[in-house]
Amino acid sequence: MKMDMNELAEHVSDSAEFVVPMVELHLPRVFGFQITRFMVLELAVAALMAAVFIPYARRVSAGNPPRGKFWNMIDAMVLFMRDAVARPSIGEKDAGRFLPYVWTIFFFVLACNLIGLLPWTGSPTSSLMVTASLALLTFCAVLGAGVARFGPFGYMKSIVPHMDAGGVLNLFLVPMLFAIETAGLCIKHFVLAVRLLANIFAGHLVLAVIVGFIGMVAQAAAVLCAGVTLSSVLGAVALSLLELLVAFLQAYIFAFLSALFIGMAIHPH
């Protein structure tokens, strides 16, 4: 029995249905637009975040300290992103304006990563369309921060490092450096999307391959089947724990780089 790579790819690719044991739920079209599994999961993540952070914000604004393990955990993560990510990357003075975005992008990416660990769901961040959209949001935030600070032409000027090369030489160097810096700005955000995609996609694909070994030996001898099954299950558990770490790590990296790019836009060279 050969391992079907198309079946394995279903674990990390989007589709128009949810498939659970003995049930296949097809998602509808809305005004001719196909609703997909990742869209539903992202809406579920957004609803979950609203259910958690709206009460949290009301409690904090009222001056009530978090009580309970869950709310203390949320408070610790919020304060960590403020003190260890936003303020060092953007600056004490300007961080407050961009904290809502940094918090939102961190918890959204984290929730999308974690939901992929649940059975019969999938991780939206294993899709390039999702990670590219998140990187595009950061790109818009970076441009908006730079334009708001310096104005459109001032921000374009701030991209190029200051040089004392002389008037004639500047005629050649400034346009060249502007093109290089602009391309670098776009490439950085493209890499931001690919980095998140690659880590989540690879982890889920390897997990699917390990579990797929059970099906490959299902018709083999009982001793071989039992040994492979036990090894696959133990390997899947160990890899799932690693994926749990990766989910938090990649959300942190995405939020940290987003804050860093914003800081670079308002504090150039």
Instruction: Give tens-digit pLDDT for 230-266.
Output: 666 676 677 777 788 888 999 999 999 999 999 999 9
From 12-16, 37-41, 175-179, the region with the lowest mean pLDDT: 12-16
| Full domain range(s) for residue 148 | 5-266
Angle at 109 between CA 106 and CA 113, to 5 degrees: 135
Q: Where do we find the tokens 């931001």? A: 192
Sort 18 into a burial class: Cβ within 10 Å, 0-12 / 13-18 / 19+: middle
Question: How far is it, in rounded angstroms, from Cα 177 to Cα 69?
Answer: 51
CA dist 117 and 3 (Å) reads 22
What is the mean pLDDT of the segment spanning 124-146?
Answer: 94
**64 with 57: CB under 8 angstroms?**
no
- Report, as an integer, the average pLDDT of 173-196: 91
Q: How far apart are the first and last CA of the chain?
A: 59
Q: What is the rounded distance in angstroms from the CA atom of residue 198 to the CA atom of residue 200?
A: 6
Q: Are 1 and 216 in contact (CB under 8 A)?
A: yes
Confidence check: pLDDT of 215 > 50: yes
Q: How far apart are CA 262 and CA 86, in angstroms?
A: 10
CA distances in angstroms from 53 to 70, 116, 124, 268, listed in the order given: 12, 21, 21, 33
What burial class does residue 11 get, using C-beta atoms within 10 Å of its C-beta: 0-12 exposed, 13-18 middle, 19+ buried?
A: buried
Query: In this structure, which amino acid lies at residue 213?
Result: F
Domain total in the chain: 1
pLDDT at residue 187 above 70? Answer: yes
| Average pLDDT over every residue of 190-198 | 92
Would strands 29-30 and 23-26 be described as parallel, antiparallel, or unpaired?
Answer: unpaired
What average pLDDT is seen over the chain? 84
Residue 79 has pLDDT above 90, yes or no: yes
- Region 27-46: mean pLDDT is 91
**pTM assigned to the model:** 0.86
Where is pLDDT greater, at 80 or 127? 80
pLDDT by residue (tens digit) across 88-103?
Answer: 999 999 999 999 999 9
* CA dihedral (157, 159, 163, 169) positive or negative: negative
**pLDDT, position 19:** 76
Residue 216: per-residue pLDDT: 63
203: closest CA among 249, 242, 237, 231?
A: 242
Q: Is residue 66's pLDDT more than 70?
A: yes
What is the rounded CA–CA span in Å between residue 115 and residue 42?
9
The pLDDT score that the predictor gives to residue 209 is 66
Distance CA 35, CA 44 (A): 13
Please give the backbone phi and psi of residue 208, each rounded to the nearest 5 degrees, phi first: -65, -35
% of the chain surpassing 70 pLDDT: 82
Beta-carbon contacts of residue 11 (< 8 Å; ≥ 6 apart): 122, 204, 205, 207, 208
